[in-house]
Amino acid sequence: MGKIWIILKSEFWRRVASRGFILTTVLGPLAMIAFFVVIGFIAAQTLTSDARTVAVIDETGVLLPRLLAEETNPHHLVAAEAPVDSVRTAVLEGAYDGYLVLPNDLLSGQGRATYYAVEGGGFSLENWLEDRIERALEEHRLREKNVDPEVLEILKTRVSLNNVKLTETGEEAGDSRFYSTLGVIMGMLIYIAMLIYGTVVMYGVIEEKATRVVEVIISSVRPFDLLMGKVLGIGAMGLVQMTVWAVLILGGVTFAGTIVALFLDPAALNLPEAASQQEILAAADITLPSLSVDVFVWFVLFFLLGYLLYAGLFAAVGAMVEQQQDTQGLVLPVMMPIILSIVFIQPVLESPHSPLAVILSLIPLTAPVPMVVRLAVTEVPLWEVLLSFALLVIGFIGAIWVSSRIYRVGILMYGKKARLKDLVRWMRYA
């Protein structure tokens, strides 16, 4: 144990003290935020520049008032009285983005509305126009038939969807989309831990082997101690990195609430000036969703075990080669289950109780990602979580046993690439 601790410390410090680590840890989230800000900025730009002004030539004489009566965001409709030719010229000169012709026989349901523009409006404008015209036409024709105004009211009903997450203990306020996002984020974090930190372990093993320093090390410690010290040391590094990121993100989220509250005027919400942030947010109907503690605890456990399992496997791959370039073929089988568990995030999100989701979250090699996704979006039966975790622990022990045997022999093998047959032989060496 003493030796493992010495190796752990050395592996940890030599990485954490490096400039690269400090940069990625501190600048990583900043870069991510900057990235999202840029994306958001561009999106906002496109949204505003998307607003179009459309001249309407209404030959029916009845539809335009109805069209104008409705809210017209984000596009503008303008009545055009002039003859078609001059409207066309106006569009070509850029006065309008386009013009819409509503022929008289549209009312009888035979004619077609036509939109003329220099550049296509895109699907959103097309849908928007269709939607408006359809509603105006529908209303007009219904009125022609003397339909009861009450019925018209009924037809006007527009539905907006409210999402509430159901749990056994009751309803959890908040958008279920939030939980999906959270699930995806937690899944991605585990994915990073398994893939990125696993790869770090692999390159560490390759470096020791390529520089031949490994022979000196294992004349002082058992290969198993070296393997464990390395895996745990790099794991500790990963944990520090994740914790820093988590603190930054949580800080950001807390800060976000404060900022939102700052922009809300208590008076406007009929609250006393001294109203607390929560009260303001509650009155404004803004809920910052909460995460239950057990989901977080399970996340940490699956995170750690998932990393340990794959770190062992990646170490074994590292021990089988001499240079980084040689890893490609060997690393694929190890990465496959990780990639698989990411590929299936979407189906798991959509039906977290499907057989696919349950099976994926029970197989140790794929379990960590789908399991935390399910935990985030739904209520997973406790026995399933426990079984999945127990299998993962067994998987980890098995993987470290196999890996340490491959590792022990592999780190001293030079000159030829290991094949499956060799691996079986290595594992039988005493």
Segment near other proteins (CB under 8 A), from 4-12, 112-120, 271-279, 369-377?
4-12
Structure tokens at 198: 């696993």
Structure tokens at 224: 């198993």
Q: Which is nearer to other proteins, 223 or 368 (CB)?
A: 223
Can you say how many angstroms the Cα of residue 97 is from the centroid of all Cα atoms in its chain? 37
Structure tokens at 401: 């046993």
Q: How far is the CB of 346 from other proteins (least distance, A)?
A: 41
Q: For residues 273 and 390, what is the distance between their CA atoms, to the nearest angstrom?
A: 53
Q: How far is the CB of 211 from other proteins (least distance, A)?
A: 4
Number of residues lying near other proteins (CB under 8 A)? 23
Q: For residues 225 and 237, what is the distance between their CA atoms, to the nearest angstrom?
A: 18
Q: Which is nearer to other proteins, 17 or 259 (CB)?
A: 17
For other proteins, what does the binding mask look like between residues 371 and 410, x meaning CB under 8 A?
A: ----------------------------------------
Our finding on whether 417 is near other proteins (CB under 8 A) is no
Check if the beta carbon of residue 59 is closer than 8 Å to that of residue 114.
no
Q: Which is nearer to other proteins, 417 or 425 (CB)?
A: 425
Q: How far is the CB of 308 from other proteins (least distance, A)?
A: 23
Which residues are within 8 A (CB) of 38 and not within 5 positions of it... i.e. 6 or more apart? none
Q: How far is the CB of 400 from other proteins (least distance, A)?
A: 20
Q: Which is nearer to other proteins, 26 or 221 (CB)?
A: 221
Structure tokens at 320: 């089988």
Q: Hunting for tokens 């947010």 — which residue is that?
A: 281
Question: 203 to 232, contacts with other proteins by CB under 8 A?
Answer: 207-208, 211-222
What string of DSSP letters covers 115-143? EEESS--HHHHHHHHHHHHHHHHHHHHHH
Q: Which is nearer to other proteins, 3 or 76 (CB)?
A: 3
Q: How far is the CB of 409 from other proteins (least distance, A)?
A: 9
Our finding on whether 412 is near other proteins (CB under 8 A) is yes
Question: 8 to 67, contacts with other proteins by CB under 8 A?
Answer: 10, 14, 18
For other proteins, what does the binding mask look like between residues 114 and 153, x meaning CB under 8 A?
A: ----------------------------------------
- Three-state DSSP at 53 gives strand
Our finding on whether 236 is near other proteins (CB under 8 A) is no
Q: For residues 122 and 418, what is the distance between their CA atoms, to the nearest angstrom?
A: 56
Q: For residues 230 and 16, what is the distance between their CA atoms, to the nearest angstrom?
A: 14
Q: Which is nearer to other proteins, 306 or 318 (CB)?
A: 318
The CA–CA distances, whole Å, from 179 to 109, 164, 294 equal: 46, 10, 14
Q: How far is the CB of 221 from other proteins (least distance, A)?
A: 6
Q: Which is nearer to other proteins, 16 or 185 (CB)?
A: 16
The CA–CA distances, whole Å, from 270 to 259, 262, 282, 289 equal: 20, 16, 12, 24
Q: How far is the CB of 416 from other proteins (least distance, A)?
A: 12
Q: For residues 371 and 294, what is the distance between their CA atoms, to the nearest angstrom?
A: 13
Strands (E), 106-255: 114-117, 165-167, 170-172
Q: How far is the CB of 244 from other proteins (least distance, A)?
A: 22
Q: Which is nearer to other proteins, 138 or 215 (CB)?
A: 215
DSSP structure class, residue 197: I
Q: For residues 340 and 266, what is the distance between their CA atoms, to the nearest angstrom?
A: 49
Q: Which is nearer to other proteins, 73 or 211 (CB)?
A: 211
Q: For residues 125 and 98, what is the distance between their CA atoms, to the nearest angstrom?
A: 11
Q: How far is the CB of 322 from other proteins (least distance, A)?
A: 12
Q: Which is nearer to other proteins, 117 or 217 (CB)?
A: 217
Q: Which is nearer to other proteins, 2 or 170 (CB)?
A: 2
For other proteins, what does the binding mask look like between residues 258 and 297, x meaning CB under 8 A?
A: ----------------------------------------
71 phi-psi bin (left φ>0, alpha ψ -120 to 50, beta other): beta
Buried b (16+ CB within 10 A) or exposed e, 358-382: bebbbbbbbbbbbbbbbbbbbebee
Interface with other proteins (CB under 8 A): 3, 6-7, 10, 14, 18, 207-208, 211-222, 412, 425, 430
